[in-house]
């Protein structure tokens, strides 16, 4: 079961540069059953700053889950995965690639870079929201996520 205490919000980092996909993801999480705080950054540099608590994100919380688009400005999703995997502390943060790419090479590369899952974004807005809610139920209700105390 989820490591969060009842009523405690889960911190989710969404790394997405498409405003429409951000809005749909926000809607899906608002309608969901699990308390969450959705943090949004628009590119790979901001994502790494958030995850490593640098620059404007020095006070950012450690996310319980990262939803990562691959096609990002400044640093792409692959580069973000590489840096996360290279860090002893942050490599344990679950990362789900959430992208429009259906390319098998992107799927394989994401898993090679230690992504915990790969979801292709549905084009239909209702299907998109349903997919996010399925992801929420699975990752935040069924799976046990690492806590800060699990890190030692």
For the chain, the average pLDDT equals 86
Query: Is 29 among the domain residues?
Result: yes
Query: Is 52 among the domain residues?
Result: yes
Query: Is 89 among the domain residues?
Result: yes
Q: Mind listing the pLDDT tens digit for each residue in 67-109?
A: 999 999 999 999 999 999 999 889 889 999 998 888 999 999 9
> What predicted TM-score, i.e. pTM, was given to this entire model?
0.86
DSSP 57: G
Q: Are the C-beta atoms of residues 28 and 93 closer than 8 Å to each other?
A: no
Query: Is 90 among the domain residues?
Result: yes
Query: Is 121 among the domain residues?
Result: yes
User: Alpha helices of the chain — where are they, by DSSP H?
Assistant: 19-31, 44-51, 77-85, 104-112, 125-137
Query: Is 151 among the domain residues?
Result: no
Q: Domain containing 107: what range? A: 10-143
Query: Is 150 among the domain residues?
Result: no
Domain with residue 93: its CATH number is 3.40.50.2300
Query: Is 148 among the domain residues?
Result: no
- Is the model's pLDDT at 61 over the cut of 90? yes
Query: How many domains are contained in the chain?
Result: 1
How far lies 78's CA from each of 14, 36, 54, 65, 71, in Å? 15, 26, 20, 17, 9
Q: b/e per residue, 45-67, with b = 16+ CB within 10 A?
A: bbbbbbbbeeeebeebebbbbbb
User: How far, in Å, CA of 36 to CA of 47, rounded?
Assistant: 18
Between vectors from CA 101 to CA 97 and to CA 103, what angle results, nearest 5°? 110
């Amino acid at each position: 079961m989820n490591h969060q205490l009842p009523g405690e919000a889960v911190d989710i980092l969404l790394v997405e540069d498409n405003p429409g996909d951000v809005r749909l993801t926000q809607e899906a999480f608002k309608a969901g059953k699990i308390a969450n705080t959705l943090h949004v950054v628009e590119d790979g540099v901001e994502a790494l700053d958030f995850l490593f608590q640098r620059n404007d994100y020095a006070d950012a919380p450690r996310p319980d889950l990262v939803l990562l688009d691959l096609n990002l400005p400044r640093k792409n999703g692959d580069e973000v995965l590489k840096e996360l995997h290279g860090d002893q502390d942050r490599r344990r943060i679950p990362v789900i690639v959430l992208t429009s790419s259906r390319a098998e090479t992107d799927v394989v590369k994401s898993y090679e870079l230690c992504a915990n899952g790969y979801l292709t974004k549905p084009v239909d807005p209702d299907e998109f929201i349903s997919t996010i809610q399925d992801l929420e139920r699975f990752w935040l209700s069924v799976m046990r996520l690492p806590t800060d105390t699990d890190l030692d």
